[in-house]
């Protein structure tokens, strides 16, 4: 790197890399709410089945299906233990997004406030732009929407 041209090429490459990093950060910083959900909606296809038909009968447009959210858990600086959360569909109604979970006979939901909190709150926290979580029970042709509301606590 004794010649001036070598330094010029290195400075140009470094400048382009810095410009690219700043541009990516700015894009991430100004990303509109709900863009994560729109990316999920574009990611997966939907097979027409009885669950999709049930959701469409209740006014939902099913955007994508069968999603897996990978997570890592670390306990006391130990190794990362991988795990995942699953939800069945991403649906839209009246320009609002909903996560859809199917109620299965082998994993019934406990319909108490604490049971719903334990099972569904992670989804609401991971996707705060969702309007709610739709629980679809195909055998009973029933749909329920679960929403979490933070209330003023006792101090």
According to the model, what pLDDT value does residue 20 have?
Answer: 92
| pLDDT at 17 (0 to 100) | 94
**pLDDT (average), residues 75-79:** 90
Note whether 64 and 37 are within 8 A (CB). Answer: no
d(CA 23, CA 39): 20
Which pLDDT score, from 0 to 100, does residue 37 have?
60
- pTM equals 0.66
User: 41-57 in b/e burial notation, b at 16+ Cβ within 10 A?
Assistant: beeeebeeeebbebbee
pLDDT at 39: 62
pLDDT in tens, 84-127: 888 888 888 888 888 898 888 788 888 888 888 888 888 888 88
pLDDT (0 to 100) of residue 14: 93
Q: Tokens standing for 24?
A: 């990516």
pLDDT digits (tens, 9 = 90+) for 19-52: 999 888 887 776 655 556 666 655 666 777 888 8
pLDDT tens digits, one per residue of 131-147 = 889 998 888 888 899 99
Structure confidence at residue 44 (pLDDT): 63
* Widest distance between CA atoms in the chain: 78
What pLDDT is recorded for position 40? 63
* Sequence-separated contacts (24+) of 144-147 with Cβ below 8 Å: 145/98, 146/116, 146/120
pLDDT at 91: 87
């Amino acid at each position: 790197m004794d010649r001036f041209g070598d330094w010029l090429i290195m400075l140009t490459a470094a400048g382009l890399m810095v410009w690219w990093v700043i541009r990516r950060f700015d894009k991430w910083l100004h990303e509109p709410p709900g863009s994560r959900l729109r990316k999920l909606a574009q990611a997966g296809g939907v097979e027409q089945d009885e669950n999709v038909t049930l959701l469409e009968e209740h006014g939902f447009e099913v955007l994508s299906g069968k999603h897996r959210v990978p997570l890592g858990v670390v306990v006391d600086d130990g190794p990362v233990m991988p795990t995942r959360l699953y939800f069945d569909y991403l649906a839209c109604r009246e320009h609002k997004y909903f996560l859809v979970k199917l109620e299965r006979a082998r994993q019934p939901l406990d319909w108490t406030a604490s049971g719903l909190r334990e099972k569904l709150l992670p989804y609401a926290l991971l996707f705060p732009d969702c309007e709610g979580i739709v629980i679809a029970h195909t055998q009973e042709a029933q749909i329920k929407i679960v929403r979490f509301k933070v209330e003023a606590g006792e101090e």
